[in-house]
């Protein structure tokens, strides 16, 4: 064994300190969108190059990056060595000209699996068999390369729900069914505000197996879940876990704007290529659309799944999908305020909240009487502990919806009723 001696000990300690410092620096919050990992590298002008930084004190939220604060400003301080990465599309290794099956195999319709009354462990084998036919792989060709993602069949007309970043800029879209058949697809519509999109199979087969959509209203932390998709091009991959948290504000960056989602956080392994794939409950009902992960940065790359995945709640996804199918576009509610994160003391209790910095003239906020300095701590009895949380909640509403805000003003807590409206530019 080598004896470092006193000098050697000092040198060794210096190396350890240096390595620890390097590790901390390398673990800083960075941001990138995996959107497509094309061949060659994506053109920053046409592809989504990054995701905003991840801060995880009370929420997963962005750092300002020197950006001008708009109506959906999301301040915060990075507090975790994590990287928020969209699960988008992994590098394509296959070809797009593979022929479809000459003799299509009839796919069994998706059925809801009854819960076992005698065992607390879900029958994942039965669930996987029941839902597999509704999950598809999506291959795209863009101006800068090729990529892959996932999706879920939502009706027998061939509509497939996926993430917007999966199909963003796609010149061609090919959908692979669970039995291997390939179908050309066309974009019905995409919504960058929620990172959701719908594509439709050209000449859809008669034996599609649409998924059963559940509800995200009654989800619970600790509930068993199954994620299925096309990670790294490995189609029909199923992983299981639990819901780790609900209403986790997650901020990513689309091509044109911040995407704020009060997400379902899961520990089931999800990886690049899972984007757009469904998250199922133990009865085989879709409860979310997998869209992003947090992962440790290292060596300019990513570590893959570390048990921090995020899914768009199915109630929000279903509403957006319906609007895209019916109208090709989506209307979003807005409040009309500029926000920052803050804390406020009311009745001797310190609360976290979203501080109103600006109120847009003529907006729902202005009409409701909100003013600069107000701190919003809840919306419809749901706690608001950051500007990202409020923005995520507002984006779950539609134009004309009424909401009640808990507002800390002049040391007192009051309630403000507001009727949300719609405008073209996304906002809080």
Q: Could you give the residue numbers annotated as active site?
A: 165, 195, 275
**All residues at 6 or more sequence positions from 260 whose CB lies less than 8 Å from its CB, including other chains:** 72, 74, 249, 250, 251, 388, 391, 392, 395
Cα torsion for 299, 304, 307, 313, to the nearest 10°? Answer: 120
- For 97, list phi and psi in degrees, rounded to 5: -100, 20
Instruction: Look at residues 357, 368, 362, 370 and name the one whose alpha carbon lies nearest to residue 401.
Output: 368
167, two tokens: 């199909």
CB 159 within 8 A of CB 183: no
State whether residue 309 is helix, strand or coil.
strand
Bridge partners of 266, per DSSP, are: 243, 309
Helix (H, G, I), strand (E, B) or coil at 145: strand
Residue pair 420/428 in contact by the 8 Å Cβ criterion: no
Cα–Cα distance list, 93 to 37, 89, 145, 321 (Å): 11, 12, 11, 30
| First-to-final CA distance of the chain | 63
Asked if 191 and 165 touch (Cβ cutoff 8 Å), the reply is no
E strand segments, 57-144: 60-61, 83-86, 135-142
Please provide the size of the chain in residues. 428
Contact 88, 163 (CB under 8 A): yes
156 in helix, strand or coil?
coil
Return the structure tokens found at 173.
């879209």
Rounded alpha-carbon distances, angstroms, from residue 315 to 205, 219, 405, 407: 27, 11, 21, 27
Integer Cα distance of 284 and 213 in angstroms? 9
């Amino acid at each position: 064994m080598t004896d470092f001696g006193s000098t050697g000990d000092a040198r060794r300690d210096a190396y350890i300190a240096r390595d620890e410092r390097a590790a901390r620096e390398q673990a800083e919050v960075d941001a990138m969108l995996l959107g497509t990992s094309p061949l060659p590298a994506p053109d920053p002008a046409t592809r989504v190059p990054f995701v905003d930084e991840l801060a995880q004190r009370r929420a997963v939220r962005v750092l300002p990056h020197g950006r001008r604060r708009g109506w959906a400003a999301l301040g915060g301080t990075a507090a975790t060595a994590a990287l928020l990465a969209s699960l988008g599309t992994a590098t394509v290794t296959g070809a797009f000209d593979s022929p479809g099956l000459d003799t299509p195999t009839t796919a069994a319709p998706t059925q809801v699996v009854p819960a076992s009354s005698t065992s607390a462990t879900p029958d994942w084998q039965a669930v996987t068999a029941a839902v597999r036919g509704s999950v598809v792989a999506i291959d795209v060709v863009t101006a800068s390369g090729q990529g892959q993602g996932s999706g879920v069949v939502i009706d027998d007309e061939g509509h497939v729900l996926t993430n917007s970043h999966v199909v963003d800029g796609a010149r061609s879209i090919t959908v692979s069914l669970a039995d291997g058949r390939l179908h050309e697809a066309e974009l019905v519509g995409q919504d960058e505000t929620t990172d959701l999109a719908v594509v439709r199979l050209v000449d859809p087969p008669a034996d599609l197996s649409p998924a059963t959509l559940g509800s995200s209203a009654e989800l619970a932390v600790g509930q068993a879940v199954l994620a299925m998709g096309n990670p790294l091009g490995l189609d029909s991959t199923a992983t299981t876990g639990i819901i780790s948290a609900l209403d986790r504000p997650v901020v990513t960056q689309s091509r044109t704007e911040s995407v704020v989602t009060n997400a379902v956080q899961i520990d089931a392994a999800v990886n690049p290529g899972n984007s757009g794939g469904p998250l199922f409950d133990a009865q085989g009902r879709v409860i979310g659309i997998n869209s992003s992960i947090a992962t440790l940065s290292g060596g300019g790359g990513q570590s893959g799944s570390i048990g921090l995945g995020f899914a768009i709640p199915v109630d929000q996804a279903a509403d957006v999908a319906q609007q895209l199918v019916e109208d090709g576009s989506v209307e979003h509610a807005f409040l009309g305020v500029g926000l920052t994160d803050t804390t406020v003391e009311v009745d001797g209790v310190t609360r976290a909240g979203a501080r109103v910095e600006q109120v847009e003239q003529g907006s729902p906020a202005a009409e409701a009487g909100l003013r600069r300095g107000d701190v919003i701590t809840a919306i419809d009895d749901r706690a608001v502990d950051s500007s990202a949380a409020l923005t995520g909640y507002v984006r779950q509403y539609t134009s004309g919806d009424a909401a009640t805000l808990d507002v800390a003003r002049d040391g007192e807590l009051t309630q403000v009723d507001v009727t949300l409206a719609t405008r073209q530019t996304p906002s809080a």
